[in-house]
């Protein structure tokens, strides 16, 4: 990456999320605990799905991918943030910054489409239970997962490459705890109007289209649940779907707050808090939501511990 004077390799400065006051030291320790819990929770979820034959179904196959994406997402952000805080350094190289942008957008975009695939899985399971093995076969699951990774990767590659091509001739201080696309665009000393429009179009494709599919799937599910004669079956279906909707609401609500607001309404401090929510807190909540409210996962954990 070059700045306006043609100099290469000048590092960016991440101002971070915390200072060294007592309260911020406590909050930093909490973030580290959440990070470790997230890694352990998602690793446990992937392990249970892998070792328990009763969880070898499309729903849990997709869930294992969600856990893997969450592990990678939190590992992309927290280790660098923790290293800078503990060593009292704030710099990040252009290569490291580009890698963070690429990985974050790849994983975030991939998770958007994966959540849409999970909602389709629940729609087929509840609305077309007899045709479920045919409609949700292994080939389709692999296609949906591959498509989620591919679409996220293409978005990440295009945006990271474009952002790193901008000249940065003034301040290189990023008022954030990781390299996020909107934060770097603010620093560019070039006309970024076309790129911002392109980024907004990407947000529509990566956020609103999957969200529309999710809402459509759950609308059909809700209609099917209301028509069910058995109260027990309806309750089980609603309980399963409410877990999925909680994950969707947490992820989409926070990420749309950052990427789809008008630039004039943005507040850097608010953006950092919201970004912390979907990069640090959401990955630890997903395994908790799916395990606490899921008898099959709790049963798999019990059997695994007994062995």
All domains of the chain, ordered by start, with CATH? 12-298 (1.20.1070.10)
* pLDDT bucket at 202, cuts 50 / 70 / 90: confident
Q: What is the mean pLDDT of residues 251-255?
A: 80
Confidence band (pLDDT; 50, 70, 90) for 3? very low
With a cut of 90, say whether residue 32 has pLDDT above it: yes
The confidence score (pLDDT) of residue 146 equals: 95
pTM to 2 decimal places? 0.87
Query: Beta strands 12-14 and 91-92: pairing type?
Result: antiparallel
Res 50: pLDDT: 93
Question: Is the confidence at residue 292, as pLDDT, over 80?
Answer: no
Give the model's confidence band at 1: pLDDT under 50 very low, under 70 low, under 90 confident, else very high.
very low
∠ CA 64-68-69, rounded to 5°: 120
Distance of alpha carbon 193 from alpha carbon 185, whole angstroms = 10
User: Is residue 6 over pLDDT 50?
Assistant: no
> Whole-number mean pLDDT of the chain?
84
Task: Please state the separation of Cα 6 from the chain's center in Å.
Answer: 35
Give CA separation, 171 vs 13, 95, 174, in Å: 9, 18, 8
Find out whether 236 and 107 touch, Cβ atoms under 8 Å: no
Identify the residue with better confidence: 3 or 113. Answer: 113
């Amino acid at each position: 990456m070059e700045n306006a004077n043609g100099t290469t390799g000048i590092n960016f400065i991440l101002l971070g999320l915390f200072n060294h006051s007592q309260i911020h030291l406590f909050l930093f320790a909490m973030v580290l605990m959440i990070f470790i819990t997230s890694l352990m929770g998602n690793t446990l979820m992937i392990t249970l799905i892998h070792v328990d034959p009763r969880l070898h179904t499309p729903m849990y196959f997709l869930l294992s991918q969600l856990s893997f994406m969450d592990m990678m997402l939190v590992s992309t952000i927290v280790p660098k943030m923790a290293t800078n805080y503990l060593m009292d350094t704030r710099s990040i190289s252009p290569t490291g910054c580009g890698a963070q942008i690429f990985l974050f957008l790849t994983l975030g975009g991939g998770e958007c489409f994966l959540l849409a695939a999970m909602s389709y899985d629940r729609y087929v399971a509840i609305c077309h239970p007899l045709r479920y093995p045919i409609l949700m076969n292994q080939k389709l699951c692999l296609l949906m997962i591959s498509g989620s990774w591919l679409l996220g990767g293409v978005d990440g590659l295009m945006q990271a490459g474009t952002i790193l091509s901008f000249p940065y001739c003034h301040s290189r201080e990023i008022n954030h705890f990781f390299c996020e696309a909107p934060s770097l665009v603010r620093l560019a000393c070039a006309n970024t109007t076309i790129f911002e429009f392109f980024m907004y179009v990407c947000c529509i494709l990566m956020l609103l289209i999957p969200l529309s599919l999710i809402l459509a799937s759950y609308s059909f599910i809700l209609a099917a649940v209301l028509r069910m004669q058995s109260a027990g079956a309806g309750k089980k279906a609603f309980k399963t779907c409410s877990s999925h909707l909680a994950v969707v609401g947490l992820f989409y609500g926070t990420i749309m707050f950052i990427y789809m607001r008008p630039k004039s309404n943005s507040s850097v401090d608010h953006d950092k808090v919201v970004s912390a929510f979907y990069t640090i807190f959401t990955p630890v909540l997903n395994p908790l939501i799916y395990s606490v409210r899921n008898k099959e996962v709790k049963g798999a954990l019990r059997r695994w511990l007994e062995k």
